[in-house]
Amino acid sequence: MTNKRIVVVGGGAAGILAASRAAMDGTEVYLIEKNEKLGKKLFITGKGRCNVTNSAAISEFFSHIPTNPKFLYRALHGFTNEDLMAMLEDTGLQLKTERGGRVFPESDKSSDVIRALSRILGKAGVKVALKTSVREIIVKEGKVCGAKLDKGNLPCDAVILATGGFSYPSTGSSGEGHQMAVLLGHHTTKIYPALIPLLTPNIPEMRKLKGLALKNIALTYRENGKTLYTEQGEMEFTAYGFTGPLILSASTRIEDRDFKKAEITIDLKPALSEEKLEARILRDFSENQNAKMKDVLRKLFPKQLISVVLSRANISGEKQVNAITKQERQQLIRITKGLTFPVCGTRPIGEAIITRGGIPVSEINPATMQSKQIAGLYFAGEMIDVDAETGGYNLQIAFSTGWLAGKSAAESLLNA
């Protein structure tokens, strides 16, 4: 143990890794968390299952990071998804990989991930202070020299800010880290919700579709006719619009916050070309010539969706199959391959999984995560202006930037 001390503010994914890595080099490390327990937001990620990372090659991560991906090159290559999985498995945590490369604990319990991270903290010798808040970072002559807590001052040689963004404020993400940074001369970019459900003005249709989950569909998000996101997967209709993995990822690609000409288009049968879809429909029609359209389409669509598709195609559900014209059939195919809904906004930022925006990457050294303005001040995780699609990418960013910040802070002090 050296006489150097590092204070890490925030006991989430980034803070836990920052504190653990910093302590591994023998520095005295305090992890300060204002909640009654560590990893409060981790408990609810992945619907309580905790999607810890993605198994994709690190080189593939960057296409899933819409905001400042190049900034993360050193962090993601310095502590990879393989490094993270090995570290967690060394604690006894068993992991599994699901569709899309999403990595979860075998138990499907986020609490098991928290226990594993707590064991890593304990092994590293980190001193954890719960129910404790940092009010201010003390700086003299351009260098960090302490942290002002609600329980008194704590002298230190470096501070790592890992307080999260502004989403899920009930977990403690309320933006106080940004405020402390701004008081020291840093700035913040404009803050928006990301990984957030989308809204539509088509409320009458939503009343019919509410609760319907669609799997194996292709979704495209456009603004002013420009395609910003397209992917296959799952989504769900809600009373106000849409949610689910595809929708959350699409929300990270929003450019026009006025949503003047924003829309999503759903291909309900992406595995079938229009020609193959027509052949499928003709076969169903030939086998059920006297059936009503609302009944025969149950082989093609979920029951809840049929009335909306027929309405969009201007076809009565009571109409018999043998009375359907070629033009109506072509319209049905067009709607099936391109069911479009206008998008008029997002849910409130308090419901977002992550925040878009934060400390500008231009004010942080990407090789160390240290502030370019204050010596001994480091940033990690969601505080930084980076964000990614759903699938474990954001947690890996938190772990990787935390690891790099902790490593850099410790090495800087030990080499001073």
Q: What is the pLDDT of residues 130-158, one digit of tens each?
A: 999 999 999 999 999 999 999 899 999 99
E strand or H helix at 186: none
- pLDDT (tens place) for every residue of the chain, 416 residues total: 678 999 999 999 999 999 999 999 999 999 999 999 999 889 878 788 999 999 999 999 999 999 999 999 999 999 999 999 999 999 999 999 999 999 999 999 999 999 999 999 999 999 999 999 999 999 999 999 999 999 899 999 999 999 998 876 666 667 899 999 999 999 999 999 999 999 999 889 999 999 999 999 999 999 999 999 999 999 999 999 999 999 999 999 999 999 999 999 999 999 999 999 999 999 999 999 899 999 999 999 999 999 999 999 999 999 999 999 999 999 999 999 999 999 999 999 888 989 999 999 999 999 999 999 999 999 999 999 999 999 999 999 999 999 999 999 999 999 87
Tell me the β-bridge partners of 163: none
Rounded to whole angstroms, the Cα distance separating 146 from 156 reads 5
Rounded to whole angstroms, the Cα distance separating 81 from 87 reads 10
> What are the structure tokens assigned to 103, written together?
């990595």
Rg (CA), the chain: 25
Sheet holding 345-346, edge to edge: 339-343, 262-267, 213-223, 226-237, 241-243, 198-199, 345-346
Look at residue 172 in the predicted model and tell me its pLDDT.
61
What count of other Cβ atoms lies within 10 Å of the Cβ of residue 330? 13
Look at residue 171 in the predicted model and tell me its pLDDT.
67
Look at residue 168 in the predicted model and tell me its pLDDT.
66
Handedness of CA 302, 303, 304, 310 (dihedral sign): positive
Enter the pTM of the model.
0.92
Look at residue 1 in the predicted model and tell me its pLDDT.
62
Rounded to whole angstroms, the Cα distance separating 292 from 308 reads 15
Residue with tokens 């653990």: 20
Helix residue ranges per DSSP H, 288-392: 293-296, 303-312, 326-337
Q: Mapping DSSP to helix (H, G, I), strand (E, B) and coil, where does residue 38 land?
A: coil
- List domains and CATH numbers for the chain: 5-192+357-414 (3.50.50.60), 197-268+340-346 (2.40.30), 274-337 (1.10.8)
Q: Mapping DSSP to helix (H, G, I), strand (E, B) and coil, where does residue 21 land?
A: helix
